């Protein structure tokens, strides 16, 4: 019995150590959290765009706008509280986040309009491109421009 309790205690300690680095303030931990939040945000965008355009028949550009907005709300909350653990002024960060999101939004909608609505490619093509380009751009902008009052 004592050995079982000791083994469970050791497992918990080992499990805690293996995940504790992801909760830390190091840059690799931040990148991991960014990937998780960004991945979920990107999934919200991609699934929303495809569902609205393919399943409900909305134009790809309109679908992209609606889905991007839903992903942006999730993204701000996740990156503020989880990725960057920011303690900055909310008003300051929301304004800058809106600007950063506008850049990604314009890129996403531009790709969608040109490639899907003008060229006639399936909506999957601009969605895949946006899901690759926007996260890289966002990490750079959020890290350097938006969440600058990060507790270290």
pLDDT at 21 over 70: no
**Rounded mean pLDDT of 19-23?**
61
Pick from 52, 54, 73: nearest CA to 62:
52
> pLDDT by residue (tens digit) across 122-144?
989 998 998 888 888 888 999 89
pLDDT at 108 over 80: yes
Task: Give the chain's mean pLDDT.
Answer: 84
Give me the residues paired with residue 86 across strands: 150
Instruction: Quote the pTM value.
Output: 0.68
Residue 132 and residue 16: Cα distance in Å, rounded?
32
């Amino acid at each position: 019995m004592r050995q079982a309790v000791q083994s469970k205690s050791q497992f918990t300690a080992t499990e805690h150590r293996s995940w504790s680095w992801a909760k830390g303030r190091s840059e690799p931990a931040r990148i991991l959290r960014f990937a998780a939040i960004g991945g979920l945000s990107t999934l919200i965008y991609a699934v929303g765009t495809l569902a609205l355009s393919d399943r409900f028949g909305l134009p790809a550009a309109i679908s992209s706008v609606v889905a991007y907005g839903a992903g942006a709300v999730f993204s701000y909350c996740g990156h503020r509280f989880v990725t960057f653990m920011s303690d900055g002024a909310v008003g300051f960060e929301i304004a800058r986040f809106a600007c950063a999101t506008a850049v990604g939004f314009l890129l996403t909608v531009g790709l969608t309009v040109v490639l899907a609505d003008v060229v006639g490619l399936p909506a999957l093509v601009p969605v895949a491109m946006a899901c690759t380009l926007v996260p890289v751009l966002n990490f750079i902008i959020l890290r350097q421009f938006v969440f600058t009052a990060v507790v270290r």
